[in-house]
Amino acid sequence: MDNDSDEDLVARVAGGNEAAFRQLTRRYLPRALGFARRITGNSADAEEIAQEALLRVWTHAPRWRPVASFRTWFYRVVLNLSLNRRRRAPFLPLDEAGDVADPGLDASAALERDEADRTLAAAIAQLPERQRAAILLTYREGLSNAETAAILGASVSGVETLLVRAKRTLRAALGNKP
Amino acid sequence: MSEQFQRLLDIYGADIGRWPAEQRAVAEQLLATDPAARALWERTRDFDARIARQLASISEHEGQMEQAAQRRVLAALAQLPAQRQRTWWGEWSSALLDWDFTPAWPRIAALASVAVLGFAIGLVELPPAESTHTIAMAEADVGSIVFDPEPLTGLRP
């Protein structure tokens, strides 16, 4: 079952197969938690969102229509739940400067890199939500621009514009930092 | 040229192998012949790597929190509710339910379109100016019959 495609698993979930649902959950729970946490900036919200999204996979599976890939559908659900949650609650910036220093660097270089990474983390957290989502989906989740467009409900050229603007902002935030 | 190349690097990333074929051929030629373009590409490659590393990084504390969150979610999903079965009448209503989870702009656009359509229909359906005048005169005539005083006695009805 480990090698089964997402779509095969969803087809079995639609028939009430709990084992297939557990397999999908193992595959997508860590991604959902990490993605929702990066969008909402809140671990507790991310937990509820991941649970809700996976519950929808189970309850909606009999009515799921394979017009898009399961991955696209699932990320869209997680993204929209996250955005809805963010609109209801003020955003708390991520406190995530915990990048472990590379032991191959000397101490001062590691400190400089840590500072640059903190700056970058803060800049990513402060991006407008759709720009941040585009960066997360392409860099963290490794999705194509077309898949990202489907998840965001935007055109591919719209996603390209989001990426260009986001990277300009991030470059400006980093400035001359190494 | 460098601005356009930077834009393409931002859109497709520094991994030229993932670019669309047409742009990839141009980019490969540019990298082979233009040192400035190559320097730009190297900077972008380092920048992309830094973003990817940052997004993948997670502190030990965050890692423990996330593991605990995973265990809680798995426990919460141990007992599953009944599934919603597919029904012939639920086809279009489920599409509406799905629509609820899309971004707000299609709904706003749909509402704005309906408002514009209603406004346009309202303009088309307005009666011409003469008939408005006729109606106003008719209403005035009715009023004078009911409320005007008798011409000889001055008594009001």
pLDDT (tens digit per residue) in B114-144: 888 888 888 777 666 555 555 555 555 555 5
Interval A110-167: pLDDT, tens? 666 678 888 999 999 999 999 999 999 999 999 999 999 999 999 999 999 999 999 9
Give me the pLDDT at residue A99, please.
43
ipTM: 0.78
- The shortest C-alpha distance from B32 to chain A (Å) reads 24
Per-residue pLDDT of A61-113, as tens digits, reads: 888 777 778 999 999 999 999 999 877 765 554 444 344 444 444 566 666 66
H-helix or E-strand containing A172? helix A156-174
CA distance B111 to chain A (A): 18
Q: Measured between CB atoms, which of A47, A98, A163 is closest to B62?
A: A98
* CATH 1.10.1740.10 correct for A6-88: yes
From CA A108, how far away is CA A61, in angstroms rounded?
A: 53
For chain A, positions 71-130, list CB contacts with chain B under 8 A: 76-77, 80-81, 83, 96, 98-100, 116-117, 120-121, 124
Domain boundaries, chain A: 6-88, 107-174
Taking domain A107-174, whether its CATH number is 3.40.720.10 is answered by: no
The residue in chain B having the minimum alpha-carbon distance to the alpha carbon of residue A82 is B101
Considering CB atoms only, which of B48, B80, B81 is closest to A18? B80
pLDDT digits 0-9 by tens, B68-118: 999 999 999 998 888 877 665 556 555 555 554 555 667 778 888 888 888
Q: Which amino acid is at A173?
A: A
Q: What is the 3-state secondary structure (H, E, C) of B67-132?
A: HHHHHHHHHHCCCCCCCCCCCCCHHHHHHHHHHCCCCHHHHHHHHHHHHHHHHHHHHHHCCCHHHH
Structure-token pair, residue A1: 């079952």
Model-level pTM? 0.70
- Cα–Cα distances (Å) from B69 to A47, A67, B98, B122, in that order, read 6, 31, 27, 56
pLDDT at B69: 95
